Amino acid sequence: MSKIEALGLIGQTNLVHLKTLDPKPGVEIYAKLEFMNPTGSTKDRIIAYMVQKGIEEGKINKNTTLVEGSSGNTGASVAMIASSMGLKSIIFVPDKCSEEKIAIIKSYGAEVIVKPELTYGKFPALKAAESPDYYHVDQYNNIYNPEAHYMSLGKEIWDQMDGKIDAFVASASTGGTISGVARRLKENDSNVKVVLADPAGSVYKPYFEGKEDYLSYIKSFHVEGAGKTKICATMDFDLVDEAIEFNDENAIEMVQRLAREEGLMVGGSSGGNVWAALEVAKRMEGPAKIVTVLPDSGFKYLSKIFNKEWLKEKGFEHLAN
Ligand code: PMP
């Protein structure tokens, strides 16, 4: 079976200092430009790794159809890697997924099935049970997801920062990013503080803080890809030191600042990550270095957070300028 041709293009993304955001002298915020991966998101890393492991373990062969549930980015990565290997793919996406993300997944030749936000997650496993030729990639349970970030993203961040990191800030959906990167950074330096940036409406922050009624915190929000309505096996709370909540407005405002002041066109979760990183930075005394990730490209949200009509319709008139 053919190897993953696109693999060589994945990772080794740039890490930049967000100069306009430094809250005080010597306190610096750095961002890993994960939107520079081939499909425009960090998810290429985990899918390449998980598919490679599936091949090595004999679970994926030339007759396999990859099946996955995704808020859009993972779906694009599965579709891209499947097509580069001559395989088929079927992607279930939630109905809040942007049109652009659905179009991107389809452009790689995948079949896309749209399901309701709260139930779409159960469909990939049901589909995979229909035939041994279907392989459920399963980013929410596959332990190779956080391991991929431990092996690549976490290592790159450590190397690019020359081992000088005071805090790492990231939002979580599967938790693969924060868990894998945190494990690598804390193994190298146990003093690195790990902060979860969580959208208001997600269960992760209340769960982390020990709230028994954490499920009652669920409410809908517009930022895509970050936050969750259930606790995932791939999320390791033991590696998290603190959780900070952000709302849609915080995230969208920061997305606009990043585009207009730093020249970085990114998605809503990047805005949430940087907003939370700035909150952490404001509390620190220099010298201090805070690192975060920009998980995906703003090009995936031209019909949403970069669209004035959408902003007005959703109650963000003051940001539609
Ligand atoms: N931001 C975006 C845009 C994403 O697509 C995702 C993954 N769904 C995340 C953040 C969170 O990453 P992880 O699943 O590794 O926790």
Q: How far, in Å, CA of 259 to CA of 211, rounded?
A: 36
Using the structure block, give the residue that is written with the tokens 């066109």: 265
pLDDT at 58: 96
Mean pLDDT, to the nearest integer, of 3-27?
Answer: 89
- Dump pLDDT digits (tens) for 54-111: 999 999 999 999 999 997 899 999 999 999 999 999 999 988 888 888 999 999 999 9
pLDDT at 179: 98
**C-alpha torsion angle, residues 272, 275, 278, 280 (rounded to 10):** -50
Task: State the chain's mean pLDDT as an integer.
Answer: 95
Instruction: Return the closest-CA partner of residue 295 out of 274, 316, 278.
Output: 274
- Dump pLDDT digits (tens) for 174-222: 999 999 999 999 999 999 999 999 999 999 999 999 999 999 999 999 9
Q: Which atom of ligand 1 is nearest to the CA of 270?
A: 1
Above 80 in pLDDT, residue 4? no
- Dump pLDDT digits (tens) for 114-146: 999 888 889 999 999 999 999 999 999 999 999
pLDDT at 5: 62
- Band the pLDDT of 3: cuts 50, 70, 90: low
Q: Is the distance from the beta carbon of residue 154 to the nearest atom of ligand 1 less than 6 Å?
A: no
**Cβ–Cβ contacts within 10 Å for residue 268, how many?**
30
Backbone angles phi, psi at 242, to 5 degrees: -155, 150
Ligand 1 centroid vs 211 CA: distance in angstroms? 23
Q: Is the dihedral of CA 303, 90, 153, 249 positive or negative?
A: positive
Q: Which of 43, 193, 205, 289 is catalytic?
A: 43
> Is 43 considered catalytic here?
yes
| Position 276, amino acid | A
For atom 6 of ligand 1, the residue with the nearest CA is 225
Strand order in the sheet with 27-33: 15-17, 27-33, 288-294, 167-170, 193-199, 242-246
Q: Interface pTM (ipTM) of the complex?
A: 0.98
pLDDT at 7: 73
Q: How far, in Å, CA of 94 to CA of 198, rounded?
A: 19
- Dump pLDDT digits (tens) for 214-253: 999 999 999 999 999 999 999 999 999 999 999 999 999 9
